Structure 1
Amino acid sequence: MSAPVERASRADFHALHQAQARALAEQWLAERPRLQAAWFDWVATQLYQLSPPEYAAMVRRELQRLSG
């Protein structure tokens, strides 16, 4: 019998993936001048494809923060 797999706490998940989420948000923001009006729809599609949802939410918050 194997031991149950523990899920990382929300804080642990955030700490592990924060830098990656910020870097991805910065990359996507760099595409804004090139994509212009299509950027918003493109980003929405990119966010929809991210997994897990918690990570997508982190990237979305970084986009908001960096756009601020």
Structure 2
Amino acid sequence: MSYNLASKPQDERQAQEDDKARLFEFWQQHLEKAKVDAGRIWAEKDKRKAKWKDWAHEQIDGLNPPEYQSLVKRELERMG
């Protein structure tokens, strides 16, 4: 099934566009900080060895809001 935004009611389309704009603005404002946090977490990889992955998940879970957690996760994936 294809997803056609034009088939949605105007208010639903507008809500989706508003959400995309909000997320884009959030991304612009927080990307550099997310890179710093991801770098801090990545820097512990050699030190923590096998326990790093669990530790990294704990660090990410402690971040707020969820959109910021996603930014940090993506930056960590890029580092790996």
TM-score under structure 1 length normalisation: 0.84
TM-score under structure 2 length normalisation: 0.72
Which whole-Å deviations, capped at 9, do the CAs of 1:21-40 have from their partners, x for residues lacking one? Answer: 01110111110010000000
| 2:47 equivalent to 1:30 | no
Q: Which runs of 5+ in 1 are unaligned?
A: 1-6
Instruction: For 1:33 and 1:66, locate their aligned partners in 2 and report how far apart those are by CA, in whole Å.
Output: 14
Instruction: For 1:66 and 1:17, locate their aligned partners in 2 and report how far apart those are by CA, in whole Å.
Output: 18
> For residue 42 of structure 1, what is the amino acid of its counterpart?
W
SS in 2 for 1:9: helix
**Residue in 1 aligned with 2:56?**
43
Greater Rg by CA: 2
Q: Which runs of 5+ in 2 are unaligned?
A: 1-18
Shift of the alpha carbon at 1:14? Answer: 0.2
Aligned length: 61
Runs of 4+ aligned residues of structure 1 deviating over 4 Å after TM superposition are none
